[in-house]
Amino acid sequence: MSDVPKYEERYCAFVDILGFRGLIAGLGDGSVQLDTIRKLLSQIHQPHDPRFIGLGDNDFQAQSISDAVAIGIKVKKGDEFVIPPGFLTLSANPLKGSGQFSSHGLNWFAELVFGVDIAKNRDDFTTALRAIIEGNEKFFEHAEYLKGLDLNDPANEEEVFKRISANTKTIEWWGYMAAFFGSIALKAVEEGNASEAAWAMATAERFRALAIFKSNFEEAVFAGQSARRLVDVLRTPRAAFGMHYSLVPTIADE
């Protein structure tokens, strides 16, 4: 009889804290408090969420590993693993994401959406540029006002431009302009026209940055501005609003 253990099939997931290394580094310059790290790790080291109690015989298991958690459930014949739509959503807007970013995690997210790894594609930049153009096209290809048009058909280019031009300053508009100037840059690179390639690429990246900002950060920035307005209201003397009540709690007379 073999002593080799038999492994069972399980659905597994590895949950990590984004930017944890940056949080640790923040201890040195004082931007992060030790108590913050301690509380965070105390949650990670107790991964058995009460919501999983009573899930039957799926044998839910969780194991904390440093700043991460490995979780798994048993797979039975006929089981189908389904992740509900929106269950794992990354967003700079805390009202739309399924989690919360630390400051370092937010930096990681910004690097992710802007794509800072382009420097490594120097030797085959045309391939990278084509991928960037395709990414820019995703900003507008599903626009409601473009439905029914084949965006890959050159015969529709004028109509596409006409419809998008009627909706300027939008995510779709900035994405379209980024893709347009990216195509000019690609052609210039292939033709060896360095000056035009540099001009078109710089222009495309500025439009792309605006599309990324509007799709990922605009709402979060506006929420911050709204929070400031609320703070200003709270700091305004109550008399300015004709209010004469006190914010100090009192005990009502019996």
Which of the given ranges, 109-113, 117-121, 130-134, has the highest pLDDT on average? 130-134
Per-residue pLDDT tens over the stretch 198-232: 999 999 999 999 999 999 999 888 888 888 777 77
List, in sequence order, the alpha helices (H) in the chain: 20-29, 34-44, 103-114, 125-137, 157-165, 171-191, 194-212, 218-235
pLDDT for the residue numbered 52:
44
Residue of 7, 17, 215, 200 lying closest to 103 (CA atoms): 17
Q: Is the pLDDT of residue 252 over 60?
A: no
Instruction: Judge whether 137 and 180 are in contact, CB under 8 Å.
Output: no
Q: Is the pLDDT of residue 244 over 60?
A: no
pLDDT band at 246 (very low <50, low <70, confident <90, very high): very low
pLDDT for the residue numbered 102:
72
- Segment 188-202 shows an average pLDDT of 96
- Delimit the CATH 3.30.1070 region(s) of the chain: 7-78
Residue 9, phi-psi category: left (phi > 0), alpha (psi -120 to 50), beta (remainder): beta
Q: Percent of the chain at pLDDT above 90?
A: 35
More confident residue, 191 or 253: 191
Residue of 204, 76, 44 lying closest to 134 (CA atoms): 204
Q: Percent of the chain at pLDDT above 70?
A: 78
pLDDT for the residue numbered 247:
44
Give how far Cα 151 sits from Cα of 132, 140, 141, 155, 176, Å.
17, 10, 7, 9, 11
Give how far Cα 53 sits from Cα of 12, 47, 58, 77, 158, Å.
18, 12, 11, 22, 58
pLDDT for the residue numbered 43:
65
How many CA atoms lie within 13 Å of 65's alpha carbon, on the beta-carbon side?
Answer: 10
Which of the given ranges, 48-57, 80-89, 179-188, has the highest pLDDT on average? 179-188
44-48, 93-97, 167-171, 190-194: least confidently modelled range: 44-48
Structure tokens at 40: 């965070």
Q: Is the pLDDT of residue 137 over 70?
A: yes
Q: Is the pLDDT of residue 12 over 50?
A: yes
d(CA 109, CA 26): 18
* pTM (two decimals): 0.64
The b/e string for 111-144 (b: 16+ C-beta within 10 A; e otherwise) is: eeeeeeeeeeeeeebeebbeebbebbbebbbebe
Per-residue pLDDT tens over the stretch 33-81: 888 777 767 766 665 555 444 445 556 677 777 667 777 777 777 777 6
Instruction: Judge whether 117 and 108 are in contact, CB under 8 Å.
Output: no
Q: What is the CATH number of domain 7-78?
A: 3.30.1070
d(CA 175, CA 206): 10
110-119, 136-145, 177-186, 232-241: least confidently modelled range: 232-241
Residue identified by tokens 């939008």 is 170
Percent composition of the chain: helix, strand, coil (DSSP 3-state, to 5): 55, 5, 40
d(CA 27, CA 158): 56
